[in-house]
Every structure is written in structure tokens, then in C-alpha cells.
Amino acid sequence: MPADSSRPLGAPELGAEQSNLARVFARQKAAFAAAPAPDKAERVRRLDALAGAMEKNEQRIIKAINDDFGNRSGVETILAELIMTASAIKQAKHNLSRWMRPRNVPTPLKLAPGKSRLEPQPLGVIGIIAPWNYPFQLALSPAATALAAGNRVMIKPSELTPHLSALMAEIIREAFPEDVLAVIVGGVDVGQAFAATPFDHLLFTGSTGVGQRVAEAAAKNLTPVTLELGGKSPVIVDQGADIASAARSIAHGKTFNAGQTCIAPDYVLAPKGQTEAIAEAVASATRKLYPEIDTTSDYTSIISDRHFARLKSMVEEARDAGAKIIEVGSSNALHPQRKIPLTIVIEPPANTRMMQEEIFGPVLPVLSVASADAAIEHVNKGERPLALYWFGKDNAARDKVLTRTISGGVTVNDTLWHFAQENLPFGGVGKSGMGAYHGDKGFETFSHMKPVFYQSRFSSGAMLHPPYTEKTSKLLNLIRKIA
């Protein structure tokens, strides 16, 4: 379906897809109202159905994503889509009893002997808008947690992954009644209608610009949002870091999915005098990862001609501005598969697009900074990043960076891995996002953690009712002392 960005937000024409969206939403709302508190056994059945659908269709999922990208490394799909989603499901099942249990909260003396609890409750119908870069995992891993929390879920995948989106719609339709889990396929106009739907919670994963529009549309319904956005995630290499080891991690983080990863290292800040050595070490590590970059299926393609052209023109702009470029592998004959070899750009000027925008591809600026403080200052001049990576051995220097910079998450002495630690909440801060999911935090994101106060039969509260007398004043004085 062609995108119609001229259609105002919140007022989509009711095309076939939008009316399907409205119909499924109404069905899910009604189904939730009829059965608002699925028990543990029901939630486990839903998680098992998701795991089963995934397992049964693994090869088709790998193929569909490969067809969407031109070439998507099968190992990357297994690791980042299938294993990550399976882990989210497994984790939800493993923790479900604990997650569903009410949490006791201490009750202050003045309210004793009453009792206080947080009682998790499903929110209702959850909307999930997913991007193209990990199209399966970023749709179904939050969906698994939302189902574990007892909700109904609707997913709007990206129009840039038509094969995977169609397949996901098919396998979810086979495994679930549409009033439990449904996939709504469509373009930007369906995305707009989706964001304007009065979900009980909306999780959006995508770019900061679109995230802002989604938040505006959701605000019209006061739908709470979790925004999983992007940004420029820096790598700080400290003086004294093991350069070869840092370079291997940076090369891997930047070339996994050809750099089309929200938490890919965006650029490197190198200690003065070590810029060339670090760039060379990253180049050499990358050659070891992909000795035959032209032909290997290990190296993923760029998702579309538009994204390919955008990355190429970023590099040309930096070259024209005088930056030194190291292309790690030949770009001959790569275009048919839209592969771009890792391209290291030394000292691109601050006003080039690659230093202004999220790169989201295998292009790696390396800049030198005069000191550890200058690195911190550089990071803090920009928007708050989604991820930050620090390499070094000096714990005091590390802690200074951790204390003085604010980023969504951090991996120390490697890249990407904090995302895979599913017991850590994952999310951005500032322009890189709001809210988080994964693990306990994910369950709470998709639940209403309802505070409940259980009054005791022996409550002293009634003594505070009017008419107010001398006794009330005495009681107030006592409460002041113990409060």
C-alpha cells in the first residue's frame, strides 16, 4: 500500500486495512472486557503457542528476512531474532509465578495494622509498532512479555520487510485467535492509524522523529507509550585500553547486521595519538571477521536502495570535506546485493551528516579527543545516546564516564551485550527513548501495578473523622511524631 503522509494524524481514511485495524481492536477490547484476568495456565498456553509457531516456521522466517534484506546472515537471524525471542518467552514462563504475585509494600506505623500491596493487573490491549532492522524479534519479544502480563496484543510491522510481515501475519493467524494476538500489515498510513488507536499501552520501536509523531498521536487518547528510539551511541576508548581486543568488539558491533542495529557503536572517540592505530586495528579485525566480504553470506545487505544511497552519500560528503576513508574490503560487485563494506572515516568534520545523524550502517567515524574529560564533554554535547561503550582498564576512569554521561544502557569492554542480558531493563533516555522493557521491567511496563491498601478492622482512622475535638488535636500531635 502506498504511503500517504499527507493524511493528518488521528484522522485516517477508513481504507480496508484501517477498518481491519479498527475491527480487530474492537474484538480485542471486547474479549479483554469479557476475560480481564487470564490465569497463569492460560498465559503459559499463549506463550507456548508463540514458541511453537516460531519453532515450526524457523526456516521460513530465516528465508523471509533474507528476502527482505537481499542478504541477511542466517546466523544473525538465528541469534538476534529466533534465539532472542525464544529467550524472552522462556524467561517469561520461568518468572511468571513471581511476576504475577502481589508485592508486599511496608506500611508506615501511622497506618498499622493495615497492609499494603502492589497487585499486578493486565492493562488490556497493547499496541506494538516494530521497525525493519530486527523485524521478528522487535515485534514478538515485547509481544511475549505483554502476553505474559495477561494482555491482548496487536502488532504493526514495518512496510520495509514485506516478506517477514506477511509471514508473521500468517503464522500468528494460525496459532492465535485474533482477539488474543494479531498482526496488522500496512504502510505508513496504517502506522498512523495504529498510533491513533486508543490502546491501553503502545510500544514503539523506531526512529526518534517518527517516535515523536507516534507519541503525539497517542497523547490524543492519553495512551501511555514506551518509545524505543535510536541515536548516536559512542565508543570511548580509554588511554591504556587493549586496542586489539577493543577493535575486535567494535568491529563486531558495527558489522553485525551491517551496522543496522539501534545500539551499534555509532562512532569512536580515541585518545589523542591513537586514532590511526585504533582505525587500523578495527580494519584488521573486520578483515578477519569477513575475509571474503564480496561473496560471503555472513555479511548482511543494506535494507533498501534508499538506505544504501544515504550511507554512500554520507561517506562521499566526509571524503569531500577532507576526511581520510578506509574501506575494509572492495565495493566492486557489491551493489547488486546492496552490501557496503565497513567504511572507517577518520576525523570527519562535526558538520558532516555522519556526525549529525544516527548512521545506522557500516560506517565508523573515528575521532581523537585530547583527554578522558574531553570524551565526556563530547558525549554530553550531543543528545543522550541509547548505548555507550567504554574500553579500558582504569576503573576510576570508567566510573567517571559512567557517572558523568547519561545513556540508555552501557556495555563495558565490549559492544551490544547489555541488550542480550534480558534481566537488565532495555530502553533509552532523552531523545533515545522513554520507558523500558525486558525482564521484570518488561512485565511491569505491560501491567498496571495497582496499589491496594487493606484497612484493618482495628484501624485508628475513624478517630480522625469529624467532629474535630480536643482528642483529635492530641491524635494529630501523636501522628506528627510518628509520621
User: In sequence order, which ranges of 176-320 are alpha helices (DSSP H)?
Assistant: 188-195, 208-219, 243-255, 275-289, 305-320
Q: Determine the residue with CB nearest ligand NAD.
A: 230
Spatial separation of the C-alpha atoms in residues 30 and 25, rounded to whole Å: 9
Please name every residue paired with 267 in a beta bridge, in sequence order, or none if there are none. 234
Pick the closer one to ligand NAD by CB: 266 or 347.
Answer: 266
- Smallest gap from residue 164 Cβ to ligand NAD (A): 12
Residue from 76, 262, 358, 444 carrying the catalytic annotation: 262
Pick the closer one to ligand NAD by CB: 122 or 230.
Answer: 230
On whether the CB atoms of residues 397 and 372 are closer than 8 A, the answer is yes
H helix or E strand, kind and range, residue 118: strand 115-122
Report the DSSP pairing between strands 234-237 and 387-391.
parallel
DSSP 234-269: EEEEPTT--HHHHHHHHHHHHHGGGG--TTS--EEE
- Smallest gap from residue 199 Cβ to ligand NAD (A): 12
Give the residues lining the site for ligand NAD (CB under 6 A): 129-133, 138, 156, 158-159, 188, 191-192, 195, 205-207, 210, 213-214, 228-230, 262, 358, 360, 386, 428, 433
Pick the closer one to ligand NAD by CB: 61 or 210.
Answer: 210
Pick the closer one to ligand NAD by CB: 18 or 275.
Answer: 18
Residue 174 designated active-site: no
Determine what percent of the chain falls in helix, strand and coil, rounding each to the nearest 5: 50, 15, 35
Cβ neighbours of residue 449 closer than 8 Å, sequence gap 6 or more = 103, 118, 119, 120, 121
- Smallest gap from residue 455 Cβ to ligand NAD (A): 43
- Smallest gap from residue 462 Cβ to ligand NAD (A): 51
Residue from 76, 81, 228, 347 carrying the catalytic annotation: 228
Residue 276 designated active-site: no
Spatial separation of the C-alpha atoms in residues 420 and 481, rounded to whole Å: 49
Spatial separation of the C-alpha atoms in residues 98 and 176, rounded to whole Å: 25
Pick the closer one to ligand NAD by CB: 313 or 473.
Answer: 313
- Smallest gap from residue 7 Cβ to ligand NAD (A): 10
On whether the CB atoms of residues 238 and 394 are closer than 8 A, the answer is yes
Catalytic residues: 228, 262
